[in-house]
């Protein structure tokens, strides 16, 4: 039998990149997977159930969660992955860009946690995975807005680990290093000194493997933090 047969998983930011790879990996292991993103069309799409949702909108997230609970029951796995990346020095980062980073990288994970974790606690089980970043614990000059949100989401995660201890819900922060997705298109790291080349980055499937590892641990095992990086 597949490891996640009979389980329901929700993945935010699953229309491309890491989230899409995570959704495929969980589906491949037998889970019923609900994908959430702004560019998806609500409904069934072959292997997946999709919900169009802007996760920065708390009301829309509540609506998406209500739909998941009504259609599929309390999820066994939630992967809070949706995010965005601004790489700019402080003096050229606008207040609007900071607000957008906070909205998608920090407020949205809070909304997603808020709508699913209490139901998972009531069910007495579940894996709640947040996708952080190497920038949630290592500082790099030139990405203060992104780092502030990712350090923040690590604080959220660590607090929720304490808050949900003993509940049966296991919370994990997966912190990937540079991963070759569309977020790097504008940065063009191959042409810039001091950046890892795209060919040497992690693949989205590497991060998906890490999430699958977490989601398939036996119920008595809690992986609270998993850092995954390209080989040095």
Ligand X SMILES: NC(=O)c1ccc[n+]([C@@H]2O[C@H](COP(=O)([O-])OP(=O)(O)OC[C@H]3O[C@@H](n4cnc5c(N)ncnc54)[C@H](OP(=O)(O)O)[C@@H]3O)[C@@H](O)[C@H]2O)c1
Q: Which is nearer to ligand X, 121 or 180 (CB)?
A: 180
Q: Cβ(86)–Cβ(101) under 8 Å?
A: yes
| Residue from 43, 3, 44 nearest 27 by CA | 3
Q: Which is nearer to ligand X, 28 or 230 (CB)?
A: 230
What is the end-to-end Cα distance of the chain in Å, rounded?
37
Q: Which is nearer to ligand X, 7 or 149 (CB)?
A: 149
The residue annotated as part of the active site, out of 48, 85, 116, 146, is: 146
Q: Which is nearer to ligand X, 123 or 196 (CB)?
A: 196
Alpha-carbon distance values, 11 to 94, 164, 207, 215 (Å): 30, 20, 13, 12
Alpha helix (H) residue ranges in the chain: 17-28, 58-72, 95-102, 108-123, 144-163, 204-215
Name the minimum Å distance from CB 146 to ligand X.
7
Q: Which is nearer to ligand X, 19 or 126 (CB)?
A: 19
* Collapsed DSSP state (helix, strand, coil) of residue 48: strand
**Binding footprint of ligand X on the chain (CB under 6 A):** 12-19, 37-39, 54-56, 81-85, 104, 131, 133, 176, 178-179, 181-183
Paired strand residues for 10: 34, 78
146 given a catalytic annotation: yes
| Residue from 135, 141, 33 nearest 85 by CA | 135
Name the minimum Å distance from CB 34 to ligand X.
13
What span, in angstroms and rounded, lies between the C-alpha atoms of 113 and 224?
Answer: 16
Name the minimum Å distance from CB 166 to ligand X.
28
What span, in angstroms and rounded, lies between the C-alpha atoms of 67 and 64?
Answer: 5
Name the minimum Å distance from CB 223 to ligand X.
17
Name the minimum Å distance from CB 124 to ligand X.
28
- Residues listed for the chain: 232
Q: Cβ(51)–Cβ(35) under 8 Å?
A: yes
Catalytic residues: 146
């Amino acid at each position: 039998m597949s490891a996640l047969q009979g389980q329901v998983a929700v993945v935010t930011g699953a229309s491309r990149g890491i989230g899409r790879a995570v959704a495929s990996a969980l589906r491949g292991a037998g889970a019923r997977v609900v994908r959430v993103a702004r560019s998806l069309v609500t409904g069934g799409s072959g292997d997946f159930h999709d919900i169009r949702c802007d996760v920065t909108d708390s009301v829309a997230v509540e609506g998406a969660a209500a739909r998941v609970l009504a259609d599929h029951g309390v999820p066994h796995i939630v992967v809070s992955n949706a995010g965005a990346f601004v790489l700019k020095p402080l003096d050229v980062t606008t207040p609007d860009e900071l607000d957008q980073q906070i909205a998608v990288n920090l407020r949205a994970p809070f909304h997603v946690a808020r709508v699913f974790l209490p139901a998972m606690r009531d069910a007495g089980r579940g894996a709640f995975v947040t996708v952080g970043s190497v920038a949630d614990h290592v500082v790099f000059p030139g990405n203060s807005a992104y780092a502030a949100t990712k350090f923040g989401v690590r604080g959220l995660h660590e607090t929720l680990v304490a808050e949900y201890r003993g509940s049966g819900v296991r919370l994990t922060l997966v912190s990937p290093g540079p991963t070759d997705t569309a977020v790097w298109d504008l940065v063009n790291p191959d042409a810039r000194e001091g950046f890892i080349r795209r060919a040497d980055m992690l693949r989205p499937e590497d991060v998906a493997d890490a999430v699958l590892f977490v989601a398939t641990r036996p119920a008595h095992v809690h992986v609270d933090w998993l850092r995954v990086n390209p080989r040095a």
